[in-house]
Chains A and B, each alone.
Chain A
Amino acid sequence: MFAYAIRRILATIPVMAIVALFVFSLLYLAPGDPAAIIAGDQATPADVDRIRISLGLDRPFLIRFGEWAWQVLNGDLGVSIFTNLPVTHMISQRIEPTLSLMSLTLIFSISFAIPMGVLAAWKQGAWIDRVVMVVAVLGFSVPVFVVGYILAYAFALQLDWFPVQGYTPISVGILPWFQNLALPSLALGLAFIALLARITRATMLEVLSQDYVRTAKAKGVDQRAILFVHALKNAAVPIVTIIGIGFAGLIGGAVVTESVFAIPGVGRLVVDAILRRDYPVIQGVVLMFSFVYVLVNLAVDLLYTLFDPRIRY
């Protein structure tokens, strides 16, 4: 198990290298002269030259990539073209709201979706199952920003239960932090909840028809333990897999959610950076999100061995 973890961690290195290469070449994949693109429409030829030199565009691609990669490994993501601040600094200023949003969304999603899916599978065909399935279909087909506006309208504007927008740091207090994030997390999580509930239901249905569930019943095990001990642990691998895969969607959704609810997070940062063609910032943020995604899926892989003793590497 330990050896496997080490091997699996080492295996993420080439993955990250490829991601880095891709992120770096983002700038050069765009058509036209990168320096001219960055400089924008109003730039003079002198501006463009200055930018070209400052980016080192006059030197070969691989050398530039090597230099950039070396910097990144040393924790230097470069300097924003727009603000002249280090990209790491800009990200670290914005990371808390985004991490908070994603964590709360994950917690919401898992704690709603899994019981929902388990319940629906247990009561297959009953009204509760239908309700869950309808919610699942709706949740999956309505885009984040629509859900976001509906939630904000109903619970913030009409009922006044939550603030409409903004963010309160956790250091100010857990409650205001939570109140600010509750609606955004729900909006962002809805599609995820829908997906997760469906997968949980389908997997549980399959597991509940297995012989060992009948054995458990024949032993006198009660329904709750059958569902949550005997069955859910067997359903865990597909569920955890979907959590890992769904996480990518969560990253994209976070960018939209931050815009809808005016949360000053990394998502907003990257949107602004794209509008200003602030490539170092874009690269830094994309690289960071990729890294988080790789980490999450590493965690998923390691969790497999915890849930299913048959999985050995």
Chain B
Amino acid sequence: MALLEVENLQTHFATLDGVVRAVEGLSFKIDAGETVAIVGESGCGKSVTSMSILRLIQEPPGKIAGKINFRGRNLLDLPDVEMRKIRGKDISMIFQEPMTSLNPVLTVGRQIGETVRLHEGLTAQEAEKRGIEMLGLVGIPAPERRVKEYPHQLSGGMRQRVMIAMALACNPKLLIADEPTTALDVTIQAQILDLMRDLKTRVGAAIMLITHDLGVVAEMAERVVVMYAGRKVEEATAVQIFGNPQHPYTRGLLGAVPKLGSSLQGHGRTKLTEIQGQVPSLRQRIVGCAFASRCPIVTDVCRQVAPAVEAKTPGHYVACHYAERAVAA
């Protein structure tokens, strides 16, 4: 049984000018200890997906439907109390904005300690000790001193380390990292990624890694889910995605394909390349293939019939009528 099984997830937002279908029928799995990358252009629903898993979407205006099975339990059916026990303990999250994600008026130690006090019932002293331990673990020098400091006394990289310390304090089964390095400069990015990889082996957590950065994907991920307009268009191992991309959108993203395992600091580092055309509006029901309006190999079928997600080879799923042709092209 997979650790996390997202089935036909639909997250919609009621807005003044219509319903925004931010995530529309998304399914994927994450196994224990596995690192899965979610990639796609800005606005394709990556953050909404991760927030839906932890049920951090404000309802209303949001509405989550489908199934999110975590260790066999559908999170969407859990009462709030049960859900709170999972947040921060079994599933924890790191956010994109280290500068604003920590509470400015509470000490770092208090914020890390709060998690373990909540979930493990530690006393304040024990929690502070754990805080110091965790700060040491994420490589912050002089943790005994830092634990008493406030976020504004730390650099961006250090704050993200604190976020990681907080996220890992209760040994989660799944760590959701929403663009954990985007806001950091390149050398710090590499350090943070190294740290995550290192801690992952130590803690044994699975990671759902959301990123724009194909270099990060190549470096970190075992499997990749490519999203477009709230849907999954392709899913495969990292090797398959980089070596044999099937969906025209994935191929577009890869524009200049980085070599698998290429170093972050090296020349292989590649951001998602721009693809011509506009993402379809999420406010209207999309008929046919969501990518049709921008696809270089589009045909009439594409505009009328939405392609199903199908396995082209074992473990390699593509939602395209012309997947084989795309390979040949």
Contact = CB atoms under 8 A, between A and B. Distances in A.
Interface of A: 210-212, 214-222, 229-230, 233-234, 307-310
Contacts of B119: 220
Interface of B: 54, 56, 84-89, 92-93, 95, 97, 100-106, 114-115, 118-119, 150, 152, 163, 166
A222 B114 CA distance: 11
Contact of A220 (B88, B105, B106): B88
A213 to B, nearest CB: 8
B104 A308 contact: yes
A63 B115 CA distance: 67
A212 B151 CA distance: 11
Contacts of A233: 105-106
Contacts of B118: 219-221
B93 A220 contact: no
Contacts of A230: 103, 106
A215 B106 contact: no
Given A218-B93, A230-B103, A309-B152, 7 more contacts: A215-B103, A217-B54, A218-B92, A219-B114, A229-B106, A234-B103, A310-B105
A214 B58 CA distance: 11
Contacts of B56: 214, 217-218
- Per CB-CB distance, the 10 closest pairs between chain A and chain B, nearest first, are A219-B88, A220-B87, A220-B88, A211-B100, A212-B103, A309-B150, A220-B84, A218-B93, A211-B101, A233-B105
A220 B103 contact: no
Contacts of A216: 103, 114
Contacts of A307: 105
Contacts of B84: 220-222
Nearest to B150: A309
Given A230-B106, A308-B104, A310-B104, A219 B166 contact: yes
Contact of B104 (A212, A219, A229): A212
If over half of A's interface residues share one DSSP class (helix, strand or loop), that class is named, otherwise mixed; here it is helix
Given A309-B150, A310-B152, A218 B103 contact: no
A234 B97 CA distance: 18
Nearest to A217: B56
Contacts of A222: 84
B100 A212 contact: yes
Give the residue among A212, A307, A308 with the most B Cβ atoms within 10 A: A212
B100 A210 contact: yes
A234 B104 contact: yes
A211 B105 contact: no
Contacts of B101: 211-212, 214-215
A217 B87 contact: yes
A220 B118 CA distance: 8
Give the residue among A218, A229, A233 with the most B Cβ atoms within 10 A: A218
Nearest to A209: B58
A220 B85 contact: yes
Contacts of B106: 229-230, 233
Contacts of B103: 212, 215-216, 230, 234
A221 B105 CA distance: 16
Nearest to A307: B105
A220 B103 CA distance: 15
B55 to A, nearest CB: 9
Contacts of A218: 54, 56, 87-88, 92-93, 95
B105 A308 contact: yes
A229 to B, nearest CB: 8
B152 A219 contact: no
Contact of A219 (B92, B100, B105, B150): B92
Nearest to B98: A211
Contacts of A214: 56, 95, 101
Contacts of A215: 95, 101-103, 163, 166
B227 to A, nearest CB: 21
Nearest to A229: B106
A217 B95 CA distance: 12
Nearest to A222: B84
Contacts of B87: 217-220
B115 A212 contact: no
23 contacts: A211-B97, A212-B103, A214-B56, A214-B95, A214-B101, A215-B103, A215-B163, A218-B54, A218-B88, A218-B93, A218-B95, A219-B92, A219-B114, A219-B166, A220-B115, A221-B88, A230-B103, A234-B103, A234-B104, A307-B105, A308-B104, A310-B104, A310-B152
A175 B152 CA distance: 48
A210 B102 CA distance: 10
A233 B114 CA distance: 16
A234 B150 CA distance: 13
Nearest to B153: A309
Contacts of B166: 215, 219
B26 to A, nearest CB: 20
Contacts of B93: 218
A308 B106 CA distance: 9
Nearest to A232: B105
Contacts of A217: 54, 56, 87
B105 A309 contact: yes
Contacts of A310: 104-105, 150, 152
A185 B217 CA distance: 64
A218 B175 CA distance: 11
Nearest to A233: B105
A219 B84 CA distance: 8
Contacts of A221: 84, 88, 114, 118
A229 B103 CA distance: 10
B96 to A, nearest CB: 9
B277 to A, nearest CB: 32
Contacts of B85: 220
Nearest to B112: A219
A306 B310 CA distance: 60
